[in-house]
Chains A and B, each alone.
Chain A
């Protein structure tokens, strides 16, 4: 796809009535064809942003562009029906009075009958529901309804698709499958997509790009890897995944001294003498108690997840136990002594 479908959101502000602003200058750029996740806690303004981009709400200030088309801006408010933006709402919101095929064909207004049919069949096949056209929405499972909602949004070939927590209502077993199907369907059509979610796993696993929204602004926008590895601050670090945060003092050019010993820093301390050192649980290893380069600690809890386990260990010099993700067979039990060693580099935050 070309740049026609890149989304540019600039300086978006919005408040409801006289209350606190819900958006305070939100900026977001999504390259054409990319799937961006907008991730944030309740009330951060992500849904408001989505509704402004879709055209259901007017922004107080700021602009929304799709490619070179100005959708919202000072004195400009393109109505939703002229934006070429598809939406996939929570729980699908299929029209209960229309069959699956007619739901999907709903946006195909310009096309003739046979073209409508062709696109409908193509879209249903794309979401893996070929042959379901004659069903009524209430005859489908939740996951199927959600796929139809996607097919419906994609059918008119929108430049941008907005997905509003679309997997929320699905049970977790179903979720991963639907998520993967949605991603591949989006890829197949090449549409730019924005997925609004509060689920960091969903954001990291589905999106090409994740924008973390906090208090009406984008706190950080990066690829899932960068976001996870190099969060801009401890709050983001904790929000996008499990984090081990330790106070540390800088020693030399690239090391910080912490309760887990000396930890190499990923980037130069930039003049900082002390700060919060960020590690991920998978950067910690359990070792023998007297192993080289490790500190001693006591296992306080073990949570087993099958593919891995989380072991929490109390170490000296730090009042909260640290979490350690352990892959493979597990040999420790709560109360046992263990050694803890850091692998890889850590981030340092003021």
Chain B
């Protein structure tokens, strides 16, 4: 018979929908009742949960109050905070990059940090209005495949990767935020015309584009390309995951303040209207503490920016040895034009 089975099917679907839905509503009651009174701290984290959850767990202990973390994309969280305005639930914004913090700063949503906090970090790596502070840094490098090129052959400047001998041998991830920050840095350092030319040359040289840094690194590993423009920590994570002997590629740190050696930072800012500034301040202090800075060094393989912590990761050049260009990171928010340029060059 035809109809009863239809009825059964409908009932099945209805039951299937109802049960978990009820469960969901039930669990909602359980953890409802967010008081927002400031006794707990809400962190909007643009940094990936996998990377920073252990750190934030420790932070919870350190500040002594309950900490709730909302993970998301830095830019989207910034948009969310802007939309929330004065009624934001966030006490602290922990951003993957300086741009998102700069956007909140521009709208006057961040609270000025005390000098004692700011002074722990080099002036280059904090907001020009003193309302956010960098916590960890990552440097742009060139990964290379030693089967294809020797260390000596790897260019010392990104301007060299567009030379004919690297035709079709360079990989990069044009949609990656760090790459775009680097292009913005190049614009600040060398001007728009030079940058535009470089992008066009990069494309004309048959350089290969990948979805993200890891895919770029994979391509270098596989010899699909000889050089890859990536962030340093991907390689160190890969080494930590697979063991150094199983990782084929090597890294080249660019000398001479080349734009290709730009340092991007992750940072944090306190929301004026979050009503949690006291605990948020404690959290920032913790993130600048030796404990947290060591975590950045050891676990995320980044460069710690404060507390005199130096990375103990094997093979990682000391922070002081990096010859990065001097750029006001606040100016990196002119990303819009960078994207227009990438689009014009047909790269994104």
Contacts and interface: CB of A to CB of B under 8 A. Distances in A.
A–B direct contact (CB < 8 Å): yes
Interface in B1-51: 1-3, 6-7
Assign chain B's interface to a size class.
under 10
Interface string A115-146: 00000000000000000000010100000000
Contacts of A138: 2
Query: Which DSSP category, helix, strand, loop or mixed, fits chain A's interface?
Result: loop
A136 B7 contact: no
B290 to A, nearest CB: 72
Contacts of A97: 3, 6-7
Contacts of B2: 136, 138
Contacts of B1: 136
B42 to A, nearest CB: 51
A252 interface: no
A96 interface: yes
Nearest to A96: B3
A97 B1 CA distance: 11
Contacts of B3: 96-97, 136
Counting chain A CB atoms within 10 Å of each CB, which of B1, B2, B3, B7 scores highest? Answer: B3
A96 B1 CA distance: 11
A82 to B, nearest CB: 30
Contacts of A136: 1-3
A96 B3 CA distance: 7
A189 B1 CA distance: 34
A97 B8 CA distance: 12
Interface residues of A, number: 4
Nearest to B4: A136
Contacts of B6: 97
A97 B3 CA distance: 6
Counting chain A CB atoms within 10 Å of each CB, which of B2, B6, B7 scores highest? Answer: B2
A131 B230 CA distance: 81
Nearest to A139: B1
A96 B6 CA distance: 11
Contacts of B7: 97
A148 B7 CA distance: 22
A94 to B, nearest CB: 11
A139 to B, nearest CB: 8
Nearest to B2: A138
Nearest to A137: B3
Interface string A79-113: 00000000000000000110000000000000000
A136 B3 CA distance: 9
A97 B6 CA distance: 9
Nearest to B6: A97
Contacts of A96: 3
Interface in B98-153: none
Nearest to B3: A97
Interface in B248-289: none
A136 B7 CA distance: 14
A240 B1 CA distance: 45
A278 to B, nearest CB: 54
A138 B4 CA distance: 13
A157 B37 CA distance: 67
A267 to B, nearest CB: 60
A96 B2 CA distance: 9
Nearest to A97: B3
Nearest to B10: A97
A287 B7 CA distance: 70
B110 to A, nearest CB: 62
Interface in A223-250: none
A306 to B, nearest CB: 42
A138 B3 CA distance: 10
Nearest to B1: A136
A136 B6 CA distance: 13
Nearest to A138: B2
B2 to A, nearest CB: 7
A138 B1 CA distance: 9
A317 B289 CA distance: 124
A264 B7 CA distance: 70
A97 B4 CA distance: 8
A136 B1 CA distance: 8
B6 to A, nearest CB: 7
Interface string A197-211: 000000000000000
B165 to A, nearest CB: 75
Counting chain B CB atoms within 10 Å of each CB, which of A96, A97, A138 scores highest? Answer: A97
Nearest to B7: A97
Nearest to A99: B3
A96 B7 CA distance: 12
A101 to B, nearest CB: 14
A66 B3 CA distance: 38
A37 to B, nearest CB: 35
A324 to B, nearest CB: 54
A303 to B, nearest CB: 45
A169 B265 CA distance: 79
A143 B287 CA distance: 83
B1 to A, nearest CB: 6
B343 to A, nearest CB: 52
8 contacts: A96-B3, A97-B3, A97-B6, A97-B7, A136-B1, A136-B2, A136-B3, A138-B2
Given A97-B7, A136-B1, 5 more contacts: A96-B3, A97-B6, A136-B2, A136-B3, A138-B2
Interface of B: 1-3, 6-7
Q: Lowest 8 CB-CB distances: which A-B pairs, in order?
A: A97-B3, A136-B1, A136-B3, A96-B3, A138-B2, A97-B7, A97-B6, A136-B2
